[in-house]
Chain A
Amino acid sequence: QQQVKQSPQSLIVQKGGISIINCAYENTAFDYFPWYQQFPGKGPALLIAIRPDVSEKKEGRFTISFNKSAKQFSLHIMDSQPGDSATYFCAAGGATSGTYKYIFGTGTRLKVLA
């Protein structure tokens, strides 16, 4: 119940294409869903986040779609660029056993071809 399942494990997209990464969770106590971007040799950096009271959030070329009933959320990268090549992690945050915890997906390695 604490898992966040992320897919695909890796993704190759042509420049200008749309990159889509999916995540699913089970614990309904989760109330915060961030996405992190990680470049080699760096720590994960917060990219965009959503709360379950909205179904979509857009920031520039990055959009989170959230389906509360299906317990799924996804990251869409529009007009993907070679500079977007990185590993992307979804996460879910929520209070369990009296403390607030963040559970991360296993990551998606995105490569955008020039």
Chain B
Amino acid sequence: DSGVTQTPKHLITATGQRVTLRCSPRSGDLSVYWYQQSLDQGLQFLIQYYNGEERAKGNILERFSAQQFPDLHSELNLSSLELGDSALYFCASSVSPGGDSPLHFGNGTRLTVT
């Protein structure tokens, strides 16, 4: 168990809808990362937060947004959903935003858009 908690585990919704994915990092970790994993694809970096502030952006669509709250949990909001947004969404956390601490991943949220 990595200590990173993601909810919900599964989400099925229709095109055009909006969903929120939640992540609680490991105790003591200040940095949160969001990744998207499509079928047979690698992990695509979406966005990173550190201690409540956005730190880095990757290939995140404008329809997607995220935030990290004072208690350090993070939410990823996906809106105007399209079929192509169906994927596994992973949250990872680390102690610091640099390379001196590894990433620890949650078990993901599987999003299915119908």
- Cβ-closest chain A residue relative to B97: A100
What 1/0 flags go to B58-88 for Cβ under 8 Å of A? Answer: 1000000000000000000000000000000
Q: How far is the CA of A49 from the CA of B35 in the complex (A)?
A: 20
Q: How far is the CA of A99 from the CA of B94 in the complex (A)?
A: 14
**Cβ of B42 and Cβ of A105 under 8 Å apart?**
yes
**Cβ of B43 and Cβ of A34 under 8 Å apart?**
no
| Residues of B in contact with A (beta carbons under 8 Å apart) | 2, 4, 6, 33, 35, 41-43, 45, 48, 55-56, 58, 90, 92, 97-99, 102-108
**Cβ of B105 and Cβ of A100 under 8 Å apart?**
no
Q: How far is the CA of A95 from the CA of B55 in the complex (A)?
A: 12
Q: How far is the CA of A36 from the CA of B104 in the complex (A)?
A: 10
Contacts of B102 in A (CB 8 A): 34, 46, 49
A102 at the interface (CB under 8 A from B): yes
B45, B55, B104: the one contacting A102 at CB < 8 Å is B45
Name 9 interchain pairs, CB-CB below 8 A, sorted by A.
A6-B42, A43-B90, A43-B107, A44-B90, A95-B99, A99-B56, A100-B99, A104-B45, A107-B42
Contacts of A11 in B (CB 8 A): none
Contacts of B58 in A (CB 8 A): 101
Q: How far is the CA of A94 from the CA of B56 in the complex (A)?
A: 13
**Cβ of A44 and Cβ of B56 under 8 Å apart?**
no
B55, B98, B106: the one contacting A43 at CB < 8 Å is B106
Q: How far is the CA of A105 from the CA of B44 in the complex (A)?
A: 9
Chain A: minimal CB distance from B49 (Å): 11
A45 at the interface (CB under 8 A from B): yes
**Cβ of A104 and Cβ of B43 under 8 Å apart?**
yes
With A102-B45, A104-B45 known, 8 other A-B pairs at CB within 8 A are A43-B6, A43-B90, A43-B92, A46-B102, A49-B102, A89-B42, A99-B55, A101-B56
Chain B: minimal CB distance from A6 (Å): 8
Q: Known contacts A43-B90, A43-B108, A45-B105: does B98 contact A100 (CB below 8 Å)?
A: yes
Chain B: minimal CB distance from A87 (Å): 10
